[in-house]
């Protein structure tokens, strides 16, 4: 089992307010650390001519931003939502791509659907 699967397993097994707070702040930290290569892109394009430096830096930053959002928020949120039975996994993944740490924390905080169904039936 690799670290990515452990990340998704940890996200899938937790629920509650503490899980929301933990995963929200962890998501913010992951976003900052994951974007470090994007900040490095700004430094690296400084050697380009002035006319191309701005667009090149923007493209590099957006590429890193999209990769971070996809692999660290969208895919784990979609897989965890699928494991918890929270509905359409791609909707949770899309929401995590747009809203990042908030949706990641929301998926972690929600109880699995089978647990909710058991509580309603009692």
In a domain, 6, yes or no: no
Cβ neighbours for 44, distance < 8 A, ≥ 6 positions apart: 60
Asked if 84 and 107 touch (Cβ cutoff 8 Å), the reply is yes
In a domain, 3, yes or no: no
In a domain, 118, yes or no: no
In a domain, 121, yes or no: no
In a domain, 22, yes or no: yes
Exposure string for 59-93, b = 16+ CB within 10 A, e = fewer: ebbeebeeebbeebbbbbbbbbbbbbebeebeebb
pLDDT tens-place values along the chain, 122 residues long: 588 888 888 888 888 999 999 999 999 998 999 888 777 777 777 777 878 777 888 888 888 889 999 999 999 999 999 988 888 889 999 999 999 999 999 999 998 875 555 444 44
Number of structural domains (the chain) is 1
Range of the domain at 67: 12-112
User: What pLDDT, on the 0 to 100 scale, is given for residue 117?
Assistant: 53
């Amino acid at each position: 089992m690799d670290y990515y699967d452990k990340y998704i397993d940890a996200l899938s097994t937790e629920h509650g307010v503490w899980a929301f707070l933990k995963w929200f702040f962890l998501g913010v930290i992951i976003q900052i650390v994951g974007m470090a290569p994007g900040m490095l892109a700004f430094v690296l394009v400084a050697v380009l001519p002035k006319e191309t430096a701005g667009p090149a830096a923007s493209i590099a930053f957006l590429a890193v931003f999209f990769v971070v959002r996809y692999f660290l928020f969208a895919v784990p949120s979609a897989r965890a939502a699928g494991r918890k039975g929270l509905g359409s996994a791609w909707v949770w993944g899309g929401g995590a791509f747009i809203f990042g740490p908030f949706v990641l924390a929301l998926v972690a905080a929600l109880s699995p659907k089978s647990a909710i169904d058991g509580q309603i039936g009692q």
